[in-house]
Amino acid sequence: MKAVLAVIDLQNVFADPASEWFTPRFAEVVPPIRRLVTAFGDDVVFTRFVAPARPEGAWKQYYARWPFALQPPDAPLYQVVGAFQPSSTVDANTFGKWTPRMATRVGGARLVLAGVSTDCCVLSTALAAADAGVDVTVVSDACAGADDESHAKALDIMRLYGPLVKVTTTAEVLG
């Protein structure tokens, strides 16, 4: 079965130690993600979390807590880290990146997920895609969470959704 790799939110805002949204193991997942991107060739899509122009509903409370993030999509913090140069991205101002555009890009393929953060945007994307009937694989060593405990808990939660969601490693995906 054909597979599409989605690299979730590999952005400066999560890579920068000075950021309030810093993901501590971010740098550790860049090498396995690079190997996956190389292996998947044209079947790769990068996503970005971006702030809405005007938050609505509960997002108003969210951005009241994180006002630094209310910046336009072209702000440096929302750019994909310099190690990668995607020609385009799927942007969303929601945690989950299973958007109509992502669904069209994936088609009937298996969805392979890597990126940050395991316990937020990766989890939200995996569950929404699984609900849509997509075969989802999460690459555990190519994802990083807010902390190690949250990363492990999120992987455990996603394993509960088997066989719709599988948790594996970079070596298993590339093997």
pLDDT at site 87: 85
Strand 89-92 with 110-116, pairing: unpaired
pLDDT of residue 36: 98
H/E stretch holding 7 reads strand 3-8
pLDDT per residue, tens digit, the chain (175 aa), is 899 999 999 999 999 999 999 999 999 999 999 999 999 999 999 999 999 999 999 999 999 999 999 999 999 999 999 999 998 899 999 999 999 999 999 999 999 999 999 999 999 999 999 999 999 999 999 999 999 999 999 999 999 999 999 999 999 999 9
Q: What is the pLDDT of residue 143?
A: 98
**Measured between alpha carbons, how far is 104 from 58 in angstroms, rounded to an integer?**
28
Tell me the whole-structure pTM to 2 decimals. Answer: 0.97
CA distance 77 to 103: 26
Task: Report whether 173 contacts 112 (CB < 8 A).
Answer: yes
User: How far is it, in rounded angstroms, from Cα 77 to Cα 39?
Assistant: 27
Dihedral sign for Cα atoms in the order 112, 88, 102, 72 = positive
